Copies of this chain bind each other. A is one copy, B any other.
Amino acid sequence: MNTPDKNNRFWRLARHPVADDFAAAIEFDQAPMPAPAEGQVLIRNEYLSLDAGTRMWMTARTDSYQPPIPLGSPVPGLILGQVIASRDPAFKAGDWVRAFGSWSDYSCVTPALSALQTVDASVSDIRQHLGVLGMNAWTAYVGITDVAKTRPGETVLVSAAAGATGMLAAQVAKLMGCTVVGLAGSAVKCQFLKEQLGLDAALNYKSPDFGAQLASIAGGIDVYFDNVGGEILDLVLPNMAHYGRIAVCGLLATYAAGEAGVGPKRFDQVLMRRLTISGFFSPDFMQRGPEINRIMRNWFENGRIKMHFDVTQGLENVLPAYRKLFTGGNIGKVLVALKR
């Protein structure tokens, strides 16, 4: 256990981002090392989980599923780290933990307010607690099973399939005997999806004939696992099979638009094809983490499911890492490693 630093470096939300101009929105700063109050826990962050949804809490909108981040505050985010001081008897120095902390060297949290959980340090790669054993995995598993009500053998389409949640959703569907088609924005990613993850097909949504490729999916799309929304959703809707289901865990393409967003132009297909569209997000089923992790860990340790990380070294490099989520620059889960 290293001695904590004297100062805690952190990223602060200085102003609301305009479109995807995060550089103007966040500022790197430092403050004196926090001391945990009674009931609090001080964590040395080892990995930051960068998630597209944070982009929404950076705006001023109040109708999202979380309140906006107050201007001037540290940017909150899921972190994986080790307890260095605890004033809660349930946690002790040295424990590996996951929590909603912040984009900082250290997070000082109140367990009940930050979903603080001890994680099993015996896993072969500790980062998997932000991977196959983390919230992206719960989103993937619950989305494919409970939300989309996927039945074995159906045809499942997954957007952002080279992203953290998408790659897990696609593999869960494969493991239950489905025909799985992944969407990604480059030939390299499509190759990755087919060769590394074993998907049945991968379509580049930037291809000029993308619409025709969707239309050629035999029998139509039974399930669309979507975290993008926008124009791709418009193209998918008329290619859904009757009684198809769309599980929406993100609307990346429309976050910048805020309340002025445009809806799916082909919304009429919801009626014509008797579709069901359901929005969901993982904090709603945190309590199912242990149940899902048991399944995911078994698959992972038997080599049946893979996770890919895109790791950027250094807290000071958060900005280029975060941008990847909006430019398609990553394959897999975007992490920042805080080696010191």
Contacts and interface: CB of A to CB of B under 8 A. Distances in A.
A63 interface: yes
A162 to B, nearest CB: 21
A274 B238 contact: no
A328 interface: no
Contact of A267 (B65, B261, B280): B261
Given A65-B272, A65-B274, A261 B266 contact: yes
Contacts of A101: none
A267 B229 contact: yes
Contacts of A278: 270, 274-277
Contacts of A274: 65, 278-281, 284
A276 to B, nearest CB: 4
Interface string A261-301: 11111111111111111111100100000000000000000
Contacts of A267: 229, 251, 254, 261, 263-264, 267
A249 interface: yes
Contacts of A260: 265
A211 interface: no
A65 B264 contact: no
User: Copy number in this complex?
Assistant: 2
A214 interface: no
A287 B64 CA distance: 41
A272 B279 contact: yes
A271 B275 contact: no
A265 to B, nearest CB: 5
A271 B227 CA distance: 10
A42 interface: no
Contacts of A259: 266, 268
A274 B281 CA distance: 7
Contacts of A17: none
A61 to B, nearest CB: 9
A63 B251 contact: no
Given A63-B238, A262-B263, A263-B263, A251 B277 contact: no
Contacts of A268: 251, 254, 259, 261
A36 interface: no
B63 A269 contact: yes
Contact of A273 (B65, B263, B272): B65
A248 interface: yes
Contact of A281 (B261, B263, B265, B271): B271
A272 B229 CA distance: 13
A285 to B, nearest CB: 11
Nearest to A247: B276
Nearest to A242: B65
In this complex, the member of A63, A249, A276 whose beta carbon has the largest number of chain B beta carbons within 10 angstroms is A276
A263 B270 CA distance: 10
A250 interface: yes
Given A63-B238, A271-B279, A276-B277, 20 more contacts: A63-B272, A64-B272, A65-B271, A65-B272, A65-B273, A229-B267, A249-B271, A254-B267, A261-B265, A261-B266, A262-B262, A262-B265, A263-B263, A269-B279, A270-B279, A274-B279, A274-B284, A276-B278, A276-B279, A277-B278
